[in-house]
Amino acid sequence: MDATTSDVYSKIRRGGDFDVLVENLEYIRDVVKVQDFAVSTVIQRDNYHQLSEFITFAKKFNCNRLQYQIFEPDFRLWGESDYLTEWKDKAVQEKTNPYHQDLLKYIHEIQLEHSDLGIDFGPLLNLKNGIDISQLETVEREHKNRWNDEVKSVWFNNEVHYVLRQNVKKIIKNDIETDAVYIDKIKTYVYWNHDRQKWVDMNEN
């Protein structure tokens, strides 16, 4: 449950349908009537301004527990290939993120005590208490140690694949120059589709 409105939901859940989410939550509330109904949300650049709205949204569907998570460095978004760049852009909990100070305003304003909803604020509680939770230095060090210029990550078919950069070739596909590579593990040629912003099978347009 990463948004309380359809416009924000479409940014985060690419290809997702906010109306379907609402219908499913209504079904659980009205038909299934789960006794212990817990939901969670990952706070990031596109939804941090809805921090308090998640509480109202959860109560609307009779949830009794709401968990807040931060955008971790190993979280990947559909269609993204460089997780470090993606993470640095969306991880508003990082003090170097341009939206960090704005996030802190929302964190300090939020009310966490509710008689009808248990709230697990996770690492954001440390921020509320003035404790820095930045991971950037550690993440960049680990990234540097693990990867080098010879290796490239390719996110394809809901899985990350690692290929040698020397094997990535320039091709012309649909009259556009782009990258292509053979993934030996799955015996498939893929190319970067600029329009769809994702790696796709060479046989697809």
Note down the domain range covering 22.
Answer: 6-143
**Count of CB atoms within 10 A of residue 143's CB?**
13
- What is the predicted pLDDT for the residue at 145? 61
- What is the predicted pLDDT for the residue at 149? 63
Residue type, 123: P
Considering 7-16, 50-59, 163-172, 194-203, the range whose residues carry the highest mean pLDDT is 50-59
Least Cα distance to 48 among 99, 85, 97, 96 occurs for 99
Q: What is the total count of domains within the chain?
A: 2
Structural domain contains residue 81: yes
Q: What is the pLDDT of residues 2-46, one digit of tens each?
A: 999 999 999 998 888 999 999 999 999 999 888 899 999 999 999
Structural domain contains residue 124: yes
**Count of CB atoms within 10 A of residue 191's CB?**
21
Q: Are residues 103 and 34 in the same domain?
A: yes
Q: Are residues 94 and 178 in the same domain?
A: no
Q: What is the pLDDT of residues 60-113, one digit of tens each?
A: 999 999 999 999 887 654 444 467 888 899 999 999 999 999 999 999 999 999
